[in-house]
Amino acid sequence: MANHTALFEQALRSGDRDKIFYALVTHPTMPLSDDELAKLVALHPERWGVYAKYIGLLDDQVADRKLAALSGLGGQLA
């Protein structure tokens, strides 16, 4: 989670907060999970609270990516 926070802090400085959030959520090997997002919202609601609406949606995407990787589809579901 520390890595996610560092990336987000960088995004705040550069003005690309939404782009960094998308990159964290869609990361191919270490995507942001529901648990991680919930912790970040609780710890820093002023920074992460805007993304609280995505809690409960992220783990399904992680599972889909893992399934695709295991089935040899290269991260794309058929």
Q: What per-residue confidence (pLDDT) applies to 14? A: 62
Rounded distance between C-alpha atoms, residue 59 and residue 6, angstroms: 22
Asked whether the predicted pLDDT for residue 7 surpasses 90, the reply is no
Rounded distance between C-alpha atoms, residue 8 and residue 46, angstroms: 12
The DSSP output letter for 72 is T
Number of domains in the chain: 1
Tens-place pLDDT, residues 11-65: 666 667 788 888 888 888 888 888 889 998 999 898 889 889 888 888 766 656 6
Q: What per-residue confidence (pLDDT) applies to 73? A: 46
31 domain residue, yes or no:
yes
Domain that residue 49 falls in: 2-70
Query: How many other CB atoms are found less than 10 A from the CB of residue 40?
Result: 22
Report the predicted TM-score, pTM, of the whole model to 2 decimal places: 0.60
Contact at 8 Å (CB) between 53 and 70?
no
Top-confidence residue, 62 or 78 = 62
34 domain residue, yes or no:
yes
